[in-house]
Structure 1
Amino acid sequence: MAPRILLADDDETVRLICENAFRLEGLELLHAGSVDQVKAQIEVLVPDVLIMNSRLPGGSGGGLCRELRLDRRCSRLPIILLVPQQDPDDRIRALSQGADDCLVLPIVPAELGLRAKNLLRRSNPALLDQMLRVGDLTIDRERRRVHRQTRELRLGPTEYRLLEFLMQYPGKVFSRAELRSSLWGADASVDERAIDLHVGRLRKVISLGKSDNLIRTVRGAGYALTDC
């Protein structure tokens, strides 16, 4: 499952030229064209990196950056702000508003993709690792093989994606809506109860016939993969 990069820019050309460059870096590019669209996307699922134009319809990227830093879910979200070339003071302002990095427009898509990956390496290196390990569970993402202890596990495609997603964020609780978005996209019409079905199937396989609490149910909140 590729890291999700949310690009907030109302210029369709910028999105199009970035898509291919990001794909070559193994990144999935999502798009928002306004402040309201960024907030709506984050409400469904927080991206792995947020890239914002400092000037967006409905408000400023810098103002939104400052607002997001007050949100517990986004306090550590890697954020890159894109600032206009004609105003160098915007770079200092962007960093003071909570951005992790800043680029002057016009952007070089390949450089932007590399900067996003560099932020990911610092914030969540598991997103870029080919081997994921949580406890005695291991995923070889290149070969799409899953092991617990020394035993290989056979998972269906949806259960594999679900486990891969949870293993990237051990200990973090995800709601059914967030898990649905991670598996099928933000616009999916899949019933959230389907998540319970897939979690049940995944639990059955990875438990090796024993009763354990590797995937934890948090009443009223969702599910988490235990990190111990």
Structure 2
Amino acid sequence: MSVTQPQVLLVEDEPAQREVLAYNLESEGFAVRRAENGEEALLMVSEARPDLVILDWMMPLMSGIEVCRQLKTREDTREIPVIMLSARSEEVDTVRGLETGADDYVVKPYALRELMARVRNQLRRSRPAASGAELVFDDIRLDPERHRVNRADKELKLGPTEYRLLVTLLEKPGRVFSRDQLLDHVWGRDIYVDTRTVDVHIARLRKALTIHGGIDPIRTVRGAGYALG
């Protein structure tokens, strides 16, 4: 019943730097997708929303600053944490990067250990369960380290898929997830599963959450998907 891997989009136009950084991220347990320019990065974000973007400033076609600006002005992507990488070390450049919406700014050359610490820090905000933080919504409590779910102090028995669905919903209460987004988060991007499968497992999750009573906390948003609360 493990929590799904945090998804990191790495945007870096230098192949050697991109591969070294991707290798280290994967060694830390992150699932990494690679983009070599800003236009490709925006396309990849529209196809599958990452949990974190690591973004180089100086790139051909579109700068990292412009990519960050577009991500932070769109309602569906503004909450994605962005770590900006840049050889620009002047204070005015750091300020510009942060004012564009970047959540963190790392100057090249950087120590890999420091960058990994900053990645984990940002993911604690966007994917708290991945860092072991307890998730709570009303009377529902999920402990990812012990893989236990309680509602009104009564332990619930969930299958692995229902557990991962609940983690995804608990990490973003109120956010509406489409069936395709839930497929990406819970089953993974490389596995083909019919979207109707999501409905089946949502029904099972609802049954498990209400087995001891209480209202159904999962909201169906017609034509859009599902949300918690």
What band does the TM-score fall into relative to the shorter chain?
0.7 to 0.9
Instruction: Identify the residue that residue 217 of structure 2 maps to in structure 1.
Output: 214
Aligned residues, how many?
226
Instruction: Identify the residue that residue 48 of structure 1 maps to in structure 2.
Output: 51
Instruction: Identify the residue that residue 87 of structure 2 maps to in structure 1.
Output: 84
Q: Deviations over 1:109-137 (max 9, x none)?
A: 22112112333445665653432111111
Distance 1:57 1:158 in 2: 41
Answer whether contact 1:132 1:168 (CA < 8 A) is retained.
Answer: yes
- Among 133, 136, 147, the alignment partner of 1:133 is 136
Unaligned runs of 5+ in 2: none
Answer whether contact 1:127 1:168 (CA < 8 A) is retained.
Answer: no
Deviation at 1:46, TM superposition (A): 2.6
Deviation at 1:157, TM superposition (A): 1.0
Structure 2 residue 63 is the aligned partner of structure 1 residue 60: yes
Structure 2 residue 46 is the aligned partner of structure 1 residue 39: no
Distance 1:145 1:23 in 2: 27
Unaligned runs of 5+ in 1: none
Which is worse superposed, 52-61 or 83-92? 83-92
Answer whether contact 2:148 2:155 (CA < 8 A) is retained.
Answer: yes
Distance 1:197 1:25 in 2: 33
Answer whether contact 2:129 2:167 (CA < 8 A) is retained.
Answer: no
Deviation at 1:208, TM superposition (A): 0.9
Answer whether contact 1:35 1:61 (CA < 8 A) is retained.
Answer: yes
Matched residue type, 2:42 = K
Q: Secondary structure at the match of 2:34?
A: strand
Q: Deviations over 1:178-209 (max 9, x none)?
A: 10110122343211111111111111111116
Distance 2:143 2:150 in 1: 9
Q: Deviations over 1:126-154 (max 9, x none)?
A: 65343211111111211211111222211
Structure 2 residue 115 is the aligned partner of structure 1 residue 112: yes
Distance 1:206 1:66 in 2: 40
- Among 156, 161, 172, the alignment partner of 1:158 is 161
Return the TM-score normalized by structure 1.
Answer: 0.84
Structure 2 residue 186 is the aligned partner of structure 1 residue 198: no
Q: Secondary structure at the match of 1:62?
A: helix
